[in-house]
Amino acid sequence: MGPFVGAVLSASLILLFVLPLVVLFLYVGWSGFVQEATNDGFLTSIRFTLLASGIAVGLGLLTGVPLGYLLARYRFRGRSFVESAVLLPVVIPHLVVGIALLLLFAPDGPVGRFMAGLGLPVFDAIWGVVLVMLYVGASYVVLASQLAFRAVDPEVVDTARSLGASPGEAFATVTLPQSARGIATGALLMWARGVSEIGGFLILAYAIAPSPPWFGPPTAPASVYIYDLYQSSGGLEAAAAASCVLVLVALAIFLAVRLVDRAGLYTPRGGWLS
């Protein structure tokens, strides 16, 4: 394959990525965009989605980073099973995820009742959205942190120990700063995957009854909200406008992360400056 053919094939893929979004924005136009961007119902849905995805990413980091560290640094019995389990959510269709989670967390089932008893109802509640986002996205945090931790030279960590650092101090001052960029990338991918999810929400958390009440008025995840708009009569224009708003929110978060990166919080070698 010559360089010209390679360039044409690459350009066609990039065009496929970008062109639909350009058409989307051209179709909606400025007035359509403003109308949806100031729609209280949709803004509530966006706020709700950001809140749920924030909680999900937090839980993903809390559970996925230790698992990534375990897989990067230790050999243990059942390791290949754990690695396969981490990849499971990536290959399972997400409607299936929704159905499986619904069966496990059914409101009248033991697990669902237990969760509700804890004040964490799952069905048609924010915790259902968080659960789906965690299921479909936490693998990215595990895989990214596993790669990031594996890239940290164990001799550097040992040297920190010999210089007086306890295992915890060596992790916090040497391992984590060097892995932070990889972990942050995993978190960003998890967040993006969670926000773009719809299949699991349609089954487990279609219409959100706020619980506790300070979560706000009844709403739906943004992707479900857009889907509902599209299903309503003549709803393509409104769905397209809402999609533009969601795309811009996603781009804003993506750019914010890149700006933090460029602002010098990372070193040239990719770790957080400590």
Residues forming the site for another protein (CB under 8 A): 153, 155-156, 158-166, 169, 173-174, 177-178, 267-269, 271-274
Coil, strand or helix at 39: coil
Here the contacts of 105-110 (C-beta below 8 Å, separation 24 or greater) are: 105/131, 105/204
Angle at 248 between CA 247 and CA 249, to 5 degrees: 90
Shortest Cβ 168–another protein spacing (Å): 11
Q: Least Å distance between CB 266 and another protein?
A: 9
Q: What is the smallest separation between the CB atom of 73 and another protein, expressed in angstroms?
A: 14
Instruction: Rank residues 67 and 170 by Cβ distance to another protein and give the closer one.
Output: 170
Q: 18: buried, middle or exposed (CB in 10 Å: 19+, 13-18, 0-12)?
A: exposed
Measured from the CB atom, the residue of 76 and 81 that comes closer to another protein is 76
| Helices 3-37/40-73 angle, 10° precision | 140
Closest distance of CB 19 from another protein, Å = 40
CB of 169 to another protein, least distance (A): 6
Q: What are phi and psi of 208, to 5 degrees?
A: -95, 120
State in angstroms the smallest separation of the CB of 179 from another protein.
10
Nearest distance, CB of residue 127 and another protein, angstroms: 37
> By C-beta, is 62 or 156 nearer to another protein?
156
Closer residue to another protein in complex, CB, 117/264: 264
- Structural tokens at position 63: 């559970």
41-73 burial, b at 16+ Cβ within 10 Å, e below that, comes to ebebbbebbeebbebbbebbbeebbebbbbbbe
| Phi, psi of 57, rounded to the nearest 5 degrees | -65, -40
Q: Based on CB atoms, which residue is closest to another protein, 145 or 223? A: 145
Judged by beta carbon, residue 119 or residue 168, the one nearer another protein is: 168
Q: 20 or 154: whose CB is closer to another protein?
A: 154
Residues 6+ apart with CB under 8 A from 236: 230
If one counts every other C-beta atom within 10 angstroms of the C-beta of residue 175, the result is 23
